Chains A and B, each alone.
Chain A
Amino acid sequence: MDIGLNMAAYMGVRATRELAMVSQNLANASTKGFKRELYNNWQVAPPTPTVNGDVEGPFYVDVVSRDLGQGSLHETGSETDLALQGPGFFKVQTPRGIRYTRDGGFTLNAEYQLVTVEGHPVMGKNGPLTLDARDKMFGFDQEGGIHMDKNLSDQIVVVNFPNPQELRPEGHNLLVPGPLAGEEVDAENTQVLQGNIEMSNVDLVTESVALIDLNRRYESYLKLLETFVTADRKVVEEIGQKV
């Protein structure tokens, strides 16, 4: 009985965390390069009988993972907007160290460096990218090569990781690799599309269904909780009196 009561309470708490996640996704529905977050429940230990005949477990942990699927592409016509089609990340230099991002809404700064909206330089093969385009036309090809008046000058770095789930968001659309992410490698089969940005891959319909679903589940967990409590009270009031 205690296990059932605890489980109902735990599932209720879990639903509230799920709500935090759905809210986070909805709040970032128009954040460029944002990846939808998923709430998963992992069974880490199966139910096991103990020596006195009770059953212990199952034990669960909650894990948050990210849906790394492609976000929709939005054509902007701005020549410093870059979208990645396929897996991989841009590499940017911040005061706190190298960070990674899918947000390709870049601009040029006063020194003609390609920077993020917050002014962090974007890395090319030869360090931070400089696009001095005062009297030249520049363009990016689909491999990320930068052409100044049709001469290949540099290439934007697009990297991937063996375990991209291990890139942790730290806000500001930046990701920092965790200890289990592995070594960065050049992204393969990823196209760089100039004049486009990748929007978030949050789907409003999915999230609104999740919202209804978790609300109803929460109600039923609390109903379950009440049932256990009622049963407990019955034991005390009715069976207890007859003894």
Chain B
Amino acid sequence: MFRGMFSAATGMGAQQLRLDVIANNLANVNTTGFKKSRGDFQDLMYQTIRPAGGELPSGGQMPIGQQIGLGVRPVGISKIFSQGEYVHTENEFDLAIEGKGFFKVMNNGIEYYTRAGNLKIDKDGFLTTPDGSRIQPEFSIDQKTTYVSVDQYGKITAYGPDNKPLSTGQLNLYTFPNQAGLSSEGRNLFLPTEASGEAVEGQPGVDGVGTLAQGYLEVSNVNVVEEMVNMIITQRAYELNSKAIQTADSMLERAYHLKA
């Protein structure tokens, strides 16, 4: 009986975690370059009450044993790096990555990676993310620049008033063996970990890191309907796990009031 209570309690914990993940996905539905997460769960462990192959009282062998599982445990929250949808913005500093790559940015001396391509120009003319992290390698734009073009191979050209190129640069992208192993640092930034492996630099359109699209933004890959459905299922599963605990409680109460 108590086994059942504790299994159901682990189940409630798991559904709670799942709801946390769904809530974060929904909160970021309009975040540029956001990648949704999902909770991964595993069965906890099993208590063997009677092993298979044991002797039966009537002779013969038990073909099936008796093992009771003790619940569930969360094993990880993995990011799903499927492609988000593209939105046409016509803003020259909006860059969308079509493919697996990431931009490299520098913030407070630490190298981060991001897929959010809604770039800005800081006061010194450098290309930055909205929170002021400079794109690596740094690229500065002269004040006289009227137009900046970025082609799909990552070549940046700043044009002056008479349509003459003032400066050019190369914007490279980075991929990881295991994107799901990246650590989310908030502000749309990711840090590599031992699980993700080292960043591999590549030129857009040449090295399989994806291509760039100027004037487009990649919005989050969160599907609101899917998250809503998951939320309903999560709520029901949570309720039923609590019902199992209530049932155990009412059975205990009934046993306690046994008239003998």
A residues with a Cβ closer than 8 A to B are 12, 15-17, 19-24, 26-32, 34, 37, 44-45, 59, 61-65, 76-78, 103, 105, 107-112, 117-119, 133-136, 165-166, 168-173, 178-180, 204, 207-208, 211-212, 214-215, 218-219, 222, 225-226, 229-230
- With A117-B40, A179-B53 in contact, is A170–B46 under 8 Å at CB? yes
**Which of B121-129, B147-155, B176-184 has 4 or more CB atoms under 8 Å from chain A?**
B176-184
Interface range on chain B (Cβ under 8 Å from partner): 35 or more
Interface of A is mostly: mixed
Interface of B is mostly: mixed
Quote the shortest CB–CB distance from B251 to chain A (angstroms).
5
Quote the shortest CB–CB distance from B23 to chain A (angstroms).
15
Q: Determine which of A20, A30, A103, A180 lies in contact with B14 in the assembled complex, contact meaning CB atoms within 8 Å.
A: A30
Quote the shortest CB–CB distance from B59 to chain A (angstroms).
9
B residues with a Cβ closer than 8 A to A are 1, 3-5, 7-8, 10-11, 14-15, 18, 38-46, 50, 52-53, 56-58, 60, 62-72, 75-76, 78, 80-83, 175, 177-178, 180-181, 194-198, 200, 202, 207-208, 221, 233-234, 236-237, 240-241, 243-244, 247-248, 250-251, 254-255, 258-260
Chain A residues with Cβ below 8 Å from B66 are 62-64
Find the A residue at minimum CB distance from B178. Answer: A108
Find the B residue at minimum CB distance from A135. Answer: B208
B195 and A117 within 8 A (CB)? no
Chain A residues with Cβ below 8 Å from B221 are 77
A20 and B58 within 8 A (CB)? no
Q: Determine which of A22, A28, A59, A172 lies in contact with B244 in the assembled complex, contact meaning CB atoms within 8 Å.
A: A22
B57 and A59 within 8 A (CB)? yes
A178 to B52, CA, bound (A): 8
B194 and A110 within 8 A (CB)? yes
A223 to B156, CA, bound (A): 82
A27 to B6, CA, bound (A): 10
Chain B residues with Cβ below 8 Å from A26 are 7-8, 11, 237, 240-241, 244
Quote the shortest CB–CB distance from B163 to chain A (angstroms).
35
Quote the shortest CB–CB distance from B98 to chain A (angstroms).
13
A119 to B196, CA, bound (A): 12
Find the B residue at minimum CB distance from A228. Answer: B260
B53 and A178 within 8 A (CB)? yes
B82 and A23 within 8 A (CB)? no
Find the B residue at minimum CB distance from A17. Answer: B68
Quote the shortest CB–CB distance from A31 to chain B (angstroms).
4
A229 to B258, CA, bound (A): 10
Find the B residue at minimum CB distance from A178. Answer: B52
A59 to B62, CA, bound (A): 14
**Could you list 21 A-B pairs, sorted by A, with CB under 8 Å?**
A17-B68, A20-B1, A20-B68, A23-B4, A23-B11, A26-B240, A28-B69, A28-B71, A29-B15, A37-B69, A61-B50, A63-B62, A64-B67, A76-B82, A103-B42, A105-B78, A112-B197, A134-B200, A169-B43, A207-B240, A215-B247
